[in-house]
Amino acid sequence: MNSQKLYNDYKAAMQKIADLRFSISLLNWDQECYMPKSGAGFRAQQIGTLSAIAHEMFVDSKLGDILSQLNTSGDLDENQKRNVQESWKDFSREKKYPTEFVERMALTTSQTYQAWLSAREKNDFSVYASMLDTMIKMKREEADILGYENHPYNALLDLYEPDCKVMDLDVLFEDVKKNLVDYVKNISNQKQVETGFLKQNFPYQKQWDFGIDILKQMGYDFDAGRQDISPHPFTTNFSMKDVRVTTRVNENDFSSMTWSCIHEGGHALYEQGLKEENYGLPLGEAVSLGIHESQSRLWENLIGRSFNFWNANYSALKKYFPNQLEKVSALDFYKSINAVKPSFIRVEADELTYHFHIMIRYDIEKQLMDKSIEVKNLAEYWNDSYKKYLGLSVPSDNSGVLQDIHWSHGSIGYFPTYSLGSFYSVQFFNQAKKEINSLDEKVSKGELHELREWLRGKIHQHGRKYSAKELCMRITGEPLNFKHFMNYVKQKYDGIYF
């Protein structure tokens, strides 16, 4: 059969599967934003049914035969070859999953999410523990289904950060321990930054409106997206023309909403920057969650917590909140939003102690997978870890082990990508400053379009054409290097604290 005809058949099949998977995503989005509580049971069933159908379509022998033939074809262009190679890799992995397992996992995920919501309402981990235990056992089962070398965690990590291993992350977090821990301790011995004015009453609607303004400034396309409220901020997409973000608003803490808007906006820009012609294909998907996270952390920290950014936006912010910020200078505001102080909540942590939060979760996930710890002991282990690394006594389950949605979704192996993304973000931003003339000056004027287009050209548009490691080399000329992050940290925080 003609290779191009075969490729078109492959593309059509993949796009049908994408239609179904994005429909499932829409049901999940509705579940987290708008679905009434009583709908949970049937919603779990609906998602389970559709997930099983999508799985069966993807592992169908006809698609496998097409991929097998295309893999040996010499008539495809570079992008077509890459799509086929990545789809074959996905097909080979997906083929390992029994349909029964896929349906059971979808059902368990919905049920575990609802248990997490109930536990959050009651501030009681025990309400969630039984379903989470079921989920963890299923993730161990999944690791066995996929196969792994050295550690079961590697099988799940590969789902989010392909080719990354426990041995790589152990080295990376050892760098965090050796370099970042002592630096944070030194900061704690300095005169602390005033942050009290961020805990005043900031009315809900004004916060929301300001967040919308910032998303527009970043270049988030509201004709191809929207923002809603959810218990845990997230980004989801149903195509590159429908990319949605959520946030949460705390009227007594300005920090809660603003940087979740910027963070999720960074994720959304990545999805909106993928090429339409690659809908449903690997080149229409993000390469890894570490790279995805590099985009959100770049916007959140390197832009959203920079003095240049607030030089452009502080006067507008004061118009929204004239009484709250009347006596606060732009410099004091900048220092306040970059205050380094151990805290309980990961998503509200400063950009330095944030990595201690990730390190704790990484340690827990590894041990859950190799059975070193069990779910029944999880809250106690969590609290002990926070005391050890952050010096904090966790006051409640909601401030501790119940704060993240990820485990209720079965997202074991996801958390390390947050730190990977932070380290990638600095390396990418350093390169952007070399290639975009007067970037700091442009940010200080609120001119962010050149940075957005640079990121789109260097990262977004490629999808999965290059691996994360290849992408880093192409952009910066070297592998991921933790020194970039530490140099950035010292330059910025020496100026604030020393």
Question: HSE-up of 162 (CA within 13 Å, CB side)?
Answer: 15
340 phi, psi to nearest 5 deg: -105, 115
User: Are the C-beta atoms of 256 and 248 separated by less than 8 Å?
Assistant: yes
- C-alpha 357/C-alpha 377 separation (Å) is 18
381 C-beta neighbours (distance < 10 Å), count: 18
Q: How far apart are CA 137 and CA 149, in angstroms?
A: 19
| Residue pLDDT, tens place only, 441-476 | 999 999 999 999 999 999 999 999 999 999 999 999
Dihedral angle over CA of 328, 332, 336, 339, nearest 10: -160
pLDDT for the residue numbered 290: 97
A 10 A CB-CB count for 183 gives 16
Task: Please give, one letter per residue, the 3-state secondary structure of 268-330.
Answer: HHHHHCCCHHHCCCHHHCCCCHHHHHHHHHHHHHHHCCCHHHHHHHHHHHHHHCCCCCCCCCH
3-class SS at 125?
A: coil
Element (H, E) at 494: helix 482-497
* 264 is a catalytic site residue: yes
| Confidence grade of residue 148 (pLDDT, cut at 50, 70, 90) | very high
Q: 265, 163, 160, 166: which is closest to 210 by C-alpha?
A: 265
Cβ neighbours around 76 below 10 Å, total: 18
Q: What is the Cα–Cα distance from 263 to 421, expressed in whole angstroms?
A: 12
Pick the CATH number of 166-497 from 3.40.5.10, 1.10.10.10, 4.10.140.10, 1.10.1370.30: 1.10.1370.30
Cα distances from 217 to residues 116, 302, 337, in angstroms, run 35, 15, 20
Per-residue model confidence as pLDDT tens digits over 385-425: 999 999 999 999 999 999 999 999 999 999 999 999 999 99
pLDDT of residue 348: 81
Q: What is the mean pLDDT of the chain?
A: 95
Provide the pLDDT confidence category of residue 73 given band limits of 50, 70 and 90. confident
Helix axes 166-175 and 354-369, enclosed angle (nearest 10): 150
Give the whole-angstrom CA distance, residue 463 versus residue 433.
23
Q: What is the pLDDT of residue 298?
A: 98
- Tens-place pLDDT, residues 108-138: 998 999 999 999 999 999 999 999 999 999 9
| pLDDT at 311 > cutoff 70 | yes
pTM: 0.90
Rounded to whole angstroms, what are the CA distances from 408 to 23, 51, 130, 401?
20, 17, 11, 11
Catalytic residue among 264, 271, 300, 351: 264
Distance CA 419, CA 100 (A): 34
Q: What is the CA radius of gyration of the chain?
A: 23
Taking residues 85-107, report their average pLDDT.
93
Confidence of residue 256 (pLDDT cuts 50, 70, 90): confident
Residue 1 scores a pLDDT above 80? no
Render pLDDT for 214-235 as a digit per residue (tens, 0 to 9).
999 999 999 999 999 988 889 9
Q: How far apart are CA 121 and CA 347, in angstroms?
A: 19
Tokens of 390: 């952050």
Q: What DSSP state is assigned to residue 24?
A: H
Q: Where are the domains of the chain?
A: 3-147, 166-497
Strand partners, 242: 239
